[in-house]
Homo-oligomer: A and B are copies of this chain.
Amino acid sequence: MSLKHGLLGLLNYKSLTGYELDKTFRSSLSFFWQAKTSQIYRELDAMEEKGWLNSQRIMQTEKPNKRVYTITHSGKEELANWFSLPDSDIADAMRVKSAFLMRIFFAGETTTQQALALLRSYREKCMESKNALSLAHVSASSYAETITPETITAEKRVTFWKLSILYGESYYASGIAWADQAIALLEEENE
């Protein structure tokens, strides 16, 4: 259900077209939720049928016609309802689903060299991801202003925006620390 609620959350800031929602998703929420363009359009249709949104077609001559989505009263209720029931999302956050860890589990079937290569490659990608996030952190303050309206104090928005980036940095850092431990252990055994 969370794609729906992410879209509701953005439309609660201001009315947007599917195209704009797609771009906004990619440039802000995509760190912790990903969605393809085609999926977003499908979900918008479903949400309109549920009565959470209204849409209005805008004809344009220079550019393709567009369709602006606006959250309804019922949509705001749904959003408030979602906020009030966080338990299942917290439970989901406890679940790890990782094909990479499945490889680690079965790594006893391969050579120690293969396992080491896997871990080193993982560590490297964690470093890259962490560095990319640190850059995002720096530009967060100015960036946040482009996606939320003026009515909410900018500081409050930025606080939570930064907290989500901080989560990512912490996440990748723990991946690096774990990989270091694992690599050290295997190298030791290999001697």
Using CB atoms and an 8 Å cutoff, list the residues of chain A in contact with chain B: 1-2, 5-6, 9, 12, 28-29, 31-34, 83, 86-87, 89-110, 114-115, 118, 121-122, 125-126, 128-129, 148, 152, 156-157, 159-161, 163-164, 166-168, 170-175, 177-178, 181-182, 185-186, 189
Interface centre among A95, A121, A148, A174 (most CB of B within 10 A): A174
Q: CB within 8 A of A33: which of B33, B83, B99, B173?
A: B99
With A125-B90, A160-B115 in contact, is A9–B168 under 8 Å at CB?
no
Say yes or no: A32 contacts B97, CB within 8 Å: yes
Count copies of this chain in the complex: 2
**Which B residues touch A182, using CB under 8 A?**
163, 166
Main secondary structure on chain A at its contact with chain B? helix
Question: In the complex, A103 Cα to B175 Cα: how many Å?
Answer: 23
How far does the Cβ of A122 sit from chain B's closest Cβ, in whole Å?
Answer: 5
Question: In the complex, A93 Cα to B59 Cα: how many Å?
Answer: 43
**Which B residues touch A97, using CB under 8 A?**
32-34
How far does the Cβ of A33 sit from chain B's closest Cβ, in whole Å?
Answer: 6
Q: CB within 8 A of A29: which of B89, B102, B129, B161?
A: B102
**Which B residues touch A86, using CB under 8 A?**
100, 103, 118, 121
How far does the Cβ of A120 sit from chain B's closest Cβ, in whole Å?
Answer: 10
